[in-house]
Amino acid sequence: MRPITHSLAMFDWNDLKYFLAIARHGNTVAAAKALNVNRSTVPRRLDELEKRLGCRLVLREPTGYKLTELGQNMVTYAEGVEKAAQSFERRLAAFDSRQIADRDNSH
């Protein structure tokens, strides 16, 4: 892997889901099952994330995946992004349902 050069301009926040699934489950089969995606999608998306970031987050081992020191440090931040995204989705859904109710009540 090349030296660390961060390119967040093309960063896809959805790739964090794959990183977190690997961090939580340790292998692509369990991660894919948790995400309800094809097993080959997980390592492909993880590779894309690492390529964009210019650094390794996990080590590929015969027994599964192991987080690098950087990967271990980034899990907490990735979980924070995950929580923020979930909160955003909940608030948006609540706002949408209020808007629909307001519209229905105005007719």
Whole-number pLDDT of residue 83: 95
Architecture of the domain whose range is 8-75: Orthogonal Bundle (1.10)
Whole-number pLDDT of residue 97: 72
Half-sphere exposure of 46 (CA within 13 A, CB side): 25
pLDDT in tens, 11-54: 678 899 999 999 999 999 999 999 999 999 999 999 999 999 99
What's the pTM value of the predicted model, to 2 decimals?
Answer: 0.78
Q: What is the DSSP string of 48-105?
A: HHHHHHTS-SEEEETTEEEE-HHHHHHHHHHHHHHHHHHHHHHHHHHHHHHHHHHHHH
